[in-house]
Every structure is written in structure tokens, then in C-alpha cells.
Amino acid sequence: MGTKRVAVITGANGGLGYAIACRLLDSIPSSVPLTIVITARHLRKAVETISRLRAYAKGRDLLTFDYVLLDLTSVSSINEVSNQLLSRYTHIDYLFCNAGGGDFTGIDWPGAFVEILSGPLNALTHPHFKVERCGRISRDSLGWVFQMNVFANYFLMKQISTLLSGGGRVILISSIESRIAHEFNPEDIQLTHSDQPYVDSKKSLELLHTAIAKRWADELGVLIYITHPGICHTSIMAEYLNFLTTFGMLCLFYIARWIGSPWHVVSPYNGALAPVWAAVNAVPEADPVEGVTYASASDRLGRCYVKRTDDVTDEDRKNAAILLEELDKLVQDSLERVRLESS
């Protein structure tokens, strides 16, 4: 019997998060005691997810589940979840920072049609036709998308760093769409003036990784990997698609894969390969945490593998330092906000 392991997966109630939980169950031997802590915004979703995972792992005796209710757009919620984890556990082996979202308002269908006809592979890999709302602010007076996708992850990591220290692994999940992000703007760190805050937030998440990966590894013994799931079918744009457009999208994904795209892994389970591999199988001596993104990829026949990309520049490192300074200030401001609310 192996040493008990504890994994926390944010946003595990569907899509990539649920697939990460399933792939984790398939990657860790059943002889190893394992606790999976899922986060969800609502109790019903948490209970349903645990029920589904129990059925998936039927017959696995050394498996337990736990949940916490987490709202990434509320610093009070993040702080409360941190306190719950600190009170329940002495160590966390894996933290998958999967939850997040975008403030999408629709799809520019004429633009999508033109873009796909002009360059189908590029359009299906780096689409510009998803329409995002600009300027949404959270209840904490932060950029809404920035808070969900960047700040909330850092705040949670900081709050439970003692549980991660000495061997814990944090898996940050970016997106291949970060390749079309705007240049980092120190005057708009919270992305409230960006017309594509979701895309830009994923680039900011990569900058955060650049800023802290080596420091946390050296000072805390925490390995932080940045990964992305390739391109797979999730529910992030589901409200703007119907049966026919969803079917058409999946057909285009398979076509893109067949004509040579390594990124169209199609299913969330395939997309979960790189995040789970980084948590369970990556070897620090051979798989460095700094300056590398590990992505889920696939060959033409759908055989998946982890693809490594090295694309951190000196400019990225400079911008990463600026971002980290702002994030540390926001952490202090948030802790003060929580203190005042509880007094």
C-alpha cells in the first residue's frame, strides 16, 4: 500500500475538471489510498460529481471524496475554502487550478465563416470569432475574468502554501489561445479594458507561472507546472451552440487533427492528459517547471501524448515581475477586506 495522496481539483463538476478527476483515478494505482477534493459553486453539483466519480471508480476501496464550495469571484469564499482545507488536511499532493471562465457574449458567425474559409487550421486553433464582454467588474471590485482565471488561483495557492510545501504540485491550466493574446499592458493588469479578457487572462496565468515557479520550487519545495489541454470539447461556449453547430464543430476538430494539427485532442479526457501527467509522472530533473508549457496533443489517429513548448522571453520575465508585484498587493488588500468583513 502506498502513501495516501490528496488531490484538490477546482471546477471538477464538468468538462475538463471532471476529466482530470477520471484520468487521475486511472493514473494512480488502486493500491494507493487517494482522497479527491472537488470544488463546485453549488452543493448539488458537488454531490452529483462525487456520485458520478464513485460510479467511475467502482470497486476502488482506498478512495475517499470530499468537497468544498468555492466561488472564484469572491475573495471571502476563497479565504473560507482555504481555511477549510487547512483545518482538514496536513498535506496536499496535487492542486489542479482548473476552474475559471470567460465573459463571452456570443459568436461572430460571419467572421467565423470567413476566418475558417481563409485559413481553416489557424481559425480552428487560434479563433478570433468568440465575442467577449469588456469591462466586467467583480463584487470585490476586480476585473471579473482576471479574478477568476488569475488572481483567484494565486490567492488560493498562497493561502494553502503550507499544505503544498515539501513536495506538493500545482497544475495551472492555460490555453493554446494565449498565443493570440494582446501584449501585456501594465496599465490594465486586471484586463478591464481588454476586448478579449479570457484570452489575455490565460497569457497572464502563464506570466504568473514564470514569476513564481522557480521561487516556489527553491523556497517551498512546491512544483508548479503550466499546462494546457489542447483543443477539446467543453461547455464554455455551449450556450451559443445548438446540436447542429456542436456536431459541425466536432467534425471540424477531427478534420483539423487529420490534416496535421497536434492540438485537436477533441475529448476532455484526452485534454486532461498533460495536467495529470504533470502531477503524477513529471520528473523534476527531466521535466523542469520553469520556462516550459506541457500540452495535451494528438497524432492523426487520436493517439495522445504530452507536447513540450519553450516560449518564455526576456520580455515575459519582465512583465511577470510586474504582474506578481500587483498580485501580492491584491492579496494583502483582499486579506484586509476579509478581516474587515469578519470584524
Identify the CA nearest to 323 among candidates 162, 177, 209, 175: 209
Place of cell 503550507: 162
Tell me which of 82, 174, 261, 334 is the catalytic residue.
174
The three-state DSSP-derived secondary structure of 220-267 is: HCCEEEEEECCCECCCCCHHHCCHHHHHHHHHHHHHHHHCCCCCCCEC
Q: Is 27 a catalytic residue?
A: no
SS3 state at 35:
strand
**What is the three-state SS of 135-148?**
CCECCCCCEHHHHH
The residue among 178, 176, 172, 169 whose CA lies nearest residue 220 is 169
Active-site option among 194, 202, 204, 261:
202
Listed in sequence order, the DSSP H helices in the chain are 15-27, 43-56, 75-88, 109-118, 120-125, 144-146, 152-159, 161-164, 197-220, 243-258, 268-271, 273-280, 314-342
Would residue 269 show up in a list of annotated catalytic residues for this protein?
Answer: no
Q: What's the first-to-final CA gap in the chain, in angstroms?
A: 46
Note whether 193 and 262 are within 8 A (CB).
no
- How many Å separate Cα 25 from the centre of its chain? 18
State yes or no: is 198 an active-site residue.
Answer: yes
Residue bearing cell 476538430: 253
Backbone angles phi, psi at 7, to 5 degrees: -125, 135
DSSP string spanning 285-314?
TTS-SSS-EEEEEE-TT--EEEEEE----H
Catalytic residue list: 174, 198, 202
